[in-house]
Structure 1
């Protein structure tokens, strides 16, 4: 377990000479062979056998915590490694990443190595470097993800630091922006998870689906391959091989996580084969043309029935004989 301490040992460096060969698989190795970085073994927080995959530290605001980093030089030449602390965050797809020294304003900036920020490691030697985490008095409770970063020659190794500040914790998550892409066995469900609480989450997802023609195969509950850090969001996709070929489906996504976090979100999607859609489109166009022609004929016949002149035989007007003056009758008094 981490312990409180004064800063008297902050700059002490321990070197252990040994014949070192291949590094254990759990160690965080550099991009190229030569040196490794990992939590030092031999503490109460270590797993059976002394190995630890990451640092775990816990304490209240205003305390100072300590732990030790082990740097191993597996080559025959001296290595010079630079150390720093860094804030951790989730990338857009949920991966774990660390910020630069300038961008680290939370737990990464609380990590200090004293005078040992630059370490020279002799050949075939393990260096054990103590470091401290000074938690500010006003630090909010919950998880503050960070990492210890070791660098040499452009290569960096980050060892995770799980830091929890004492106080009330809240596990909360939301599911947003659910959509469906693709069709058939290639269909995928896209969605966004947002950590609304103050502790890291290991979310579990289940999918249920119902169609117009009955229940549709969804996805059973499974743990997602992502650790969602406090205040972070991740855009994820889920394969959906049970998507129907032709149906209108309503999907419901349910996400849970330890600590009581639970959230649901739903969306609807149409699944129509392109060939069937083209055939239906052509059929509708043909049906529309036939219907329009029939309506035109009916309208023409109705018009003919309403106008009696349409069926009447034309009668020629009688011819008038020319008028003569002698046939006119003259009236009036004789003059």
Structure 2
């Protein structure tokens, strides 16, 4: 840790807090990106080997001093905090300096990290979004599409090096036209590079008798549209078995009744007719 960062922490980057809204059931303190705490995450961008600086804000709206422990979790980067913990006076916000060092061999694209603050059994995670300079590729694929038991299964895979926010449309075409069009929920807000997620979608009103092609189409900003397909035939085997049983019973009854209608003279003649003899 540089002497400047330590000096900044020891000097106490403490800002009085005059009014802080605290939820009744919420935590008594917050950890956010500094300095004002109005950013959803810390953003850093640089080339391999770069050292990037930012701050973490810890706010104590209570009436007693608060000690918060800090832990850095990096992925594709190295995060250093000015200290492993910070003690914040009552109604005060402390800004803790931090650095993000991009490894010399870092892969270009998007990486994720975070700083976790903990105190009194409560944890607050501050995301860090790092973009390593270099060629960027946005690529999304749809794989392993299948349909079984009324459940459509598919997998989304991020084949690029940028974070994607996928959107999906599921359609199905039968012998007589479209039988399904749906935009499923439950999709991930972010799909990290090299990340994959397997998803399912229930299809309760599927046809009972049809040949269907299911298509899963996925899109994401900056990436070409991707599609996966699966074909399935719906056959009501229980209904078919019942129908065949009814047909067989009807044929047996018809044959029985037909034999019962034979004239008595015909049956007598048939029974009295001598067997043909072979030979000269």
Verify same fold: TM over 0.5. Answer: yes
Gaps of 5+ in 2: 256-270
Give the TM-score of the pair, scaled to structure 1.
0.67
Q: 2:73 aligns with which of 86, 91, 110?
A: 86
CA deviations over 1:59-85 (Å, ceiling 9, x no partner) = 000010011111011211221111122
Residue 130 of structure 2 corresponds to residue 160 of structure 1: no
More displaced stretch, 125-134 vs 198-207: 198-207
Distance in 1 (alpha carbons) for counterparts of 2:125 and 2:166: 24
Residue 195 of structure 2 corresponds to residue 232 of structure 1: yes
Deviation of 1:146 (Å): 1.0
Corresponding residue pairs, total: 260
Q: Kindly report which structure 2 residues correspond to 1:182-331, keeping only aligned pairs within 5 A, or say none.
A: 189-219=152-182, 224-238=187-201, 243-244=206-207, 246-271=209-234, 278-288=238-248, 313=274
Question: Does structure 2 retain, via aligned residues, the 8 Å contact 1:84–1:111?
Answer: no
Distance in 2 (alpha carbons) for counterparts of 1:264 and 1:314: 75
Change (3 A) 1:271 1:36: farther
Q: What is residue 19 of structure 1 aligned with on the other side? A: 18
Helix, strand or coil: the match of 1:145? strand
Bigger Rg, structure 1 or 2: 1
Question: Does structure 2 retain, via aligned residues, the 8 Å contact 1:172–1:197?
Answer: yes
Give the TM-score of the pair, scaled to structure 2.
0.78
Distance in 2 (alpha carbons) for counterparts of 1:215 and 1:167: 44
Deviation of 1:234 (Å): 1.3
Gaps of 5+ in 1: 1-5, 26-30, 43-49, 88-104, 296-309, 316-335
Q: 1:174 aligns with which of 121, 137, 141?
A: 141
Helix, strand or coil: the match of 2:145? strand
Q: What is residue 56 of structure 2 aligned with on the other side? A: 69
Change (3 A) 1:287 1:242: closer
Distance in 2 (alpha carbons) for counterparts of 1:120 and 1:271: 65
CA deviations over 1:177-215 (Å, ceiling 9, x no partner) = 2234665xxxx5332111111111011212232102222
Residue 79 of structure 2 corresponds to residue 111 of structure 1: yes
Change (3 A) 1:291 1:208: same
Distance in 2 (alpha carbons) for counterparts of 1:119 and 1:172: 42
Distance in 2 (alpha carbons) for counterparts of 1:223 and 1:287: 47
Helix, strand or coil: the match of 1:144? strand
Question: Does structure 2 retain, via aligned residues, the 8 Å contact 1:72–1:126?
Answer: yes
Distance in 1 (alpha carbons) for counterparts of 2:130 and 2:254: 78
